[in-house]
Homo-oligomer: A and B are copies of this chain.
């Protein structure tokens, strides 16, 4: 192959692509570039003048020191002790649909179990023909699959039930992450043990100090659950269940038992603490809904947001956010700049995979006036994200879990952003 002929751009093709990208808004290309002569480019920077670290310096790499504020954060007053608590994914600092392993939010009930994989075992017992105990090596001899799934804590946005509480999407919506899991379909392990007649439920149990247990219906267990040992290509992180966890696609995170040591098969649910006292939905009537496993259609604008104000002033602005549904793909995201009076469709970009995060963008010209930003997602099952008001009308204000209401951010003239509610 030799040099190519001059290939001047084809303006018609470029218009087409730009048009597709600008689908959701009026955005043309921002004209904010500075004239040449900026000392930051005319002067040699230090890193251009000296050799940097070699390839032997970072066997396992870490982010730049300029990104030290991109971290999970906990809120000490939320819980009595950090060993049974939560921290939050910094959604406002991320892009795309993959969460880096080091930034996936954590929720523990007895702290992080530091399991030695060499002595770790998975037992399957109960209503099975043949109780079994697997080593990690045994499990890796079964056929495995790779799937990108979001995991959301049922309590994500739980503080918002009683009005705007926390000032930043990291805290209001940061109990969600999305990674590619590698694991064995749970069905294969259950088939290996052999299900006895009447086997209708499973109870995974964790090897941590809380011995976490949840009841999962057999229909789901045989459908798409995984026993996963890797996330984003590498072994699970300790705080995400190393060396083994259950993946329950689209269902509340508490069911994705970490440090998985046992799966009991039974003919009815176990009614343990985490599905009776916790992870149930107390209605206005005083009765509680339980076994509300699916995570409903939801979205949030991550930028601008309280932790990510507009700092560039008027003009071209990129609005972006995340949407997800436990019932399939996200088909559409609408964005409002005026608190829900007018809506425009956002552009969903990147792979659209079932029960995975979806990234949306809406580019617009900001005139410097205050805004009330909202996003509203619609999933492939036809569900539309509700307003907080509609949620409260249906369910009262006793709930902690399953708040998928539309979030409002108030952008001030200064570009600062605050968490508000519109009536």
> Once the chains are docked, how many angstroms separate the CA of A27 from the CA of B142?
9
> Once the chains are docked, how many angstroms separate the CA of A111 from the CA of B57?
10
Interface: A30 (CB within 8 A): yes
Interface: A420 (CB within 8 A): no
Stretch from A180-188, A328-336, A367-375 contacting the other chain = A180-188
> Once the chains are docked, how many angstroms separate the CA of A144 from the CA of B361?
8
Number of chain A residues whose Cβ lies closer than 8 Å to a Cβ of chain B: 164
- Please classify the interface of chain A as helix (H, G, I), strand (E, B), loop, or mixed, using the class held by over half of its residues: loop
By the criterion CB–CB under 8 Å, are B146 and A96 in contact? yes
Q: Inside 8 A of A14's CB, which chain B residues have their CB?
A: 187, 191, 222
Stretch from A346-354, A388-396, A411-419 contacting the other chain = A346-354
By the criterion CB–CB under 8 Å, are A359 and B119 in contact? no
By the criterion CB–CB under 8 Å, are B45 and A207 in contact? yes
Residue ID in chain B nearest A48 by CB atoms: B207
By the criterion CB–CB under 8 Å, are A98 and B34 in contact? no
By the criterion CB–CB under 8 Å, are A353 and B350 in contact? no
By the criterion CB–CB under 8 Å, are B8 and A195 in contact? yes
By the criterion CB–CB under 8 Å, are B113 and A48 in contact? yes
- Kindly name the residue among A95, A112, A148, A361 whose own CB sees the greatest number of chain B CB atoms within 10 A: A95
By the criterion CB–CB under 8 Å, are A237 and B63 in contact? yes
By the criterion CB–CB under 8 Å, are B36 and A208 in contact? no
Q: Inside 8 A of A133's CB, which chain B residues have their CB?
A: 33-38, 40-41
State the Cβ distance, A129 to closest chain B Cβ, in Å: 12
By the criterion CB–CB under 8 Å, are A29 and B191 in contact? yes
Q: Inside 8 A of A243's CB, which chain B residues have their CB?
A: 64, 66
Residue ID in chain B nearest A81 by CB atoms: B54
By the criterion CB–CB under 8 Å, are B82 and A55 in contact? yes
> Once the chains are docked, how many angstroms separate the CA of A197 from the CA of B41?
26
State the Cβ distance, A251 to closest chain B Cβ, in Å: 12
By the criterion CB–CB under 8 Å, are A218 and B99 in contact? no
A33-B234 contact, Cβ under 8 Å, with A48-B113, A96-B180: no
By the criterion CB–CB under 8 Å, are B32 and A111 in contact? no
Contact residues, A70-84 vs B (CB, 8 A)? 70-74, 76, 81-83
Interface: A149 (CB within 8 A): no
Interface: A286 (CB within 8 A): no
State the Cβ distance, A93 to closest chain B Cβ, in Å: 7
State the Cβ distance, A83 to closest chain B Cβ, in Å: 4
By the criterion CB–CB under 8 Å, are A317 and B141 in contact? yes
Interface: A100 (CB within 8 A): yes
Interface: A292 (CB within 8 A): yes
By the criterion CB–CB under 8 Å, are A291 and B52 in contact? no
Interface: A134 (CB within 8 A): yes
Interface: A397 (CB within 8 A): no
Interface: A283 (CB within 8 A): no
> Once the chains are docked, how many angstroms separate the CA of A289 from the CA of B117?
50
By the criterion CB–CB under 8 Å, are A138 and B33 in contact? yes
Residue ID in chain B nearest A145 by CB atoms: B349
By the criterion CB–CB under 8 Å, are B312 and A141 in contact? yes
> Once the chains are docked, how many angstroms separate the CA of A22 from the CA of B349?
33
By the criterion CB–CB under 8 Å, are A59 and B73 in contact? yes
By the criterion CB–CB under 8 Å, are A211 and B61 in contact? no
State the Cβ distance, A119 to closest chain B Cβ, in Å: 5
Q: Inside 8 A of A103's CB, which chain B residues have their CB?
A: 60-61, 233-234
By the criterion CB–CB under 8 Å, are A108 and B198 in contact? no
By the criterion CB–CB under 8 Å, are A211 and B141 in contact? no
Contact of A108 among B52, B72, B100, B141 (CB under 8 A): B52
With contacts A58-B106, A66-B116, A95-B144 known, what are 9 further pairs, Cβ within 8 A?
A18-B191, A36-B132, A47-B114, A50-B209, A54-B82, A64-B243, A147-B350, A148-B351, A232-B232
